[in-house]
Chains A and B, each alone.
Chain A
Amino acid sequence: MREISYLEAIREALFEEMRRDPKVFVLGEDVGPYGGAFGVTQGLYEEFGEARCVDTPISESAIIGVSIGASLRGYRPVAEMQFADFISCGFDQIVNQAATLRYRYGGRASVPIVVRAPSGGNVGGGLYHSQNPEAWFIHRPGLKVVAPSTAYDAKGLLKSAIRDDNPVIYFEHKWLYRRAKGPVPEGDDDVVPIGVAATRREGGDATLLTYGAMVVPSLEAADRMAKDGVEVEVIDLRTLLPFDKEAIFQSLEKTNRVLVVHEDVKTLGLGAELSAVIMEERFDALDAPVMRVTYPDTHPPFSHILEAANLPNADKITDALRKLAAY
């Protein structure tokens, strides 16, 4: 199978879904002739025209509000936030309009929109081009949140998100855009269901739960541990809301040990919820406390020295896995 990049996979999903369904359109800042700040939407304008590839003013709230309005008339808009950091400017439309609409309408309507949010650090972006704001949205019932780590999933999850009848926040990690490459089938065979995790590496000694760009150093750390005879099972959550409880519990029952790794900050990051759910529902299966490797509770700094100090990496993850295995 041919190999394409994570970024190309996102673009391909957009092309295929827009060709498949005339109700799908994209909108956002610079998504038109320019092709998006990262080039994700390149070529869409040429094929689908300005009506379905809408360049917008710098108005994140309007971008999302317009998407919601269009979705009520049967469209499936894909809104691009230029950087996930900017999603705060459209926060109200997501958490108060989109997330609550079905509930407050008594189940008589839904909001099939996708908000694409290029997230994550390790790209020298500094405070406002490196954030991982997924936890804000995991905390809001009515939304779905996904964060692919491979080119295959980038395409498959975007297709699922577009076809889903609920508002989906799609976190695409910028560090993976051109670094993650892999086999991706053409056509409709590669839809990745929302709510299903993927086991990236099997192992019986510890479970590592992660997602997005953190899958890469997590796998590296697992390889190192294997040299010491500790087999780590690495689970890529892929969907953060609703996360795949069954996959997590199945692995935990085999390994009895869990490490959560995420690039988001520690306090009330997804790791906190995973840890709580495991404790509440599978306390007897645990041989060690659930441990976490995360970004410290700080902002993503511009200096590569400072940023490297914050980012979880294979060394930090290996250290944590050693502690977990030895507990």
Chain B
Amino acid sequence: MPPIKRTKFKLAPEQLLDMFFWVKLIRAFDERLSILVKQGKVRSGVYTGIGQEAIIVGTCFALRKDDFICPLHRDLGSFLMKGVEPRAMMAQMFAKTTGLSKGRDSALHSGVTELGIFGNTSMLGANLPIAAGIGLTFKMEKRDSVVIAYFGEGASNTGDFHEALNFAGVQQLPIVFICENNQYAYSVPLEKSMAIDDVAIRAEGYGFDGVAINGNDVLAVYQASLGAIARARAGDGPTLIECKTYRWHGHSEHDKAFYRTDEELAMWKSRDPIPTFTTYLRSRHVLDDEKLKAIETRVASTIDDAVEFAINSPDPDPSEAVTDLYA
């Protein structure tokens, strides 16, 4: 595996605090969703990314407005960072008309083209050929926009993964493939779904570089993304970044995750991306108690507002079950 190219970067204190806000907001959003499922207010279809937030923040923070993302099912935070209002995301989870799909589907199956967001189906890895198509148009137009395509280590075993990475390699497309390796494909652990340790080495088979990094370190993800994005913008083709991480909750909120040990979960919780980042920011005197409190208050009010908006939004009319099938 090639060494990680250390891209130099400098973030202003305000930018670091902004990053911190996003990490906190995304964590809080998923935690609230988890509670709402338990309360029976949100009907299943909730796949949290708690524990994996550093990946979303580190990648999306490096993007421009004109760039595209093709998220996986735990990447609700990427929708927010690309510009979807928290209210609309919450309404989507409540299956209300004010959600992105007007109640047709939950979760992240609905994209917003104008904001550069593709909404995938439940077929994991099926977003990767779409990412290649978007990347192909950037190449055709000789634009320096890029696509970030997210997938789990589980999806790296699908045919679509291999077809898409091969296509992107052949065409030298401006895509950064982000593997969120959270160790489990639903209940199946890594060693039962792959005969290799690192998804990153799969990139070599398609003619581009793959690197494995600590996916729980937001700045490490940001740094690796910056390098890969710069390469894509320059026309030097795709990169695969494998972010090692762990999902704290089950596959979905109804999954109690009996297939893993308490010790394993505790070990990964000790690598929680938020305290690590908090300690860093405090040590750099970017964050203090006052600023932390202000961010936490803003996060809580944002989520409260989104939930209230969703609850008060209208339900879909039954007639809408058969509309929007054809343009």
Which residues of A are interface residues toward B (Cβ below 8 A)?
Answer: 25, 51-52, 54, 56-57, 59, 61-62, 64-75, 77, 92-93, 96-97, 100, 102-110, 112, 141-142, 144, 164-166
Contact = CB atoms under 8 A, between A and B. Distances in A.
A110 B327 contact: yes
B129 A61 contact: yes
Given A62-B132, A70-B134, A73-B134, A108 B112 contact: yes
Contacts of A73: 113, 133-134, 137
B304 interface: no
Contacts of A25: 140
Given A104-B119, A166-B326, A68 B130 contact: yes
Contacts of A77: 133
B118 interface: yes
Given A57-B163, A57-B166, A72 B324 contact: no
Contacts of B160: 61-62, 65, 92-93
B82 to A, nearest CB: 14
B323 interface: yes
Given A104-B105, A106-B110, A67 B133 contact: yes
Interface string B119-130: 101110010111
Contacts, number: 134
Given A62-B163, A106-B102, A166-B327, A92 B123 contact: yes
Contacts of A103: 101, 104-105, 324-325
Interface string B75-114: 0000000000000000000000001111011000111110
B167 A62 contact: yes
A214 to B, nearest CB: 27
B25 interface: no
Given A59-B167, A65-B160, A75-B137, A105 B111 contact: yes
A224 B119 CA distance: 55
A107 B323 contact: yes
B121 A96 contact: yes
B35 interface: no
A62 B166 CA distance: 9
Interface in B207-236: none
B123 A96 contact: yes
Contacts of B159: 61
Contacts of B111: 72, 105, 109
Contacts of A74: 137
Nearest to A107: B324
A150 B119 CA distance: 39
A69 B134 contact: yes
B104 A70 contact: no
B60 interface: no
B257 interface: no
A82 to B, nearest CB: 15
A59 B163 contact: yes
Contact of A68 (B110, B133, B324, B327): B133
A112 B159 CA distance: 24
A142 B325 contact: yes
B307 interface: no
A142 B130 contact: no
Given A62-B132, A72-B118, 17 more contacts: A65-B126, A65-B129, A66-B129, A66-B133, A69-B133, A70-B133, A73-B113, A73-B137, A93-B160, A96-B123, A97-B123, A102-B324, A103-B105, A103-B324, A106-B99, A107-B323, A166-B327
A69 B105 contact: no
Contacts of A61: 129, 159-160, 163
A51 B140 contact: yes
B78 to A, nearest CB: 17
A97 B325 contact: no
Contacts of B126: 65, 92-93, 96-97
Interface string B145-170: 00000000000000110011011001
B75 to A, nearest CB: 16
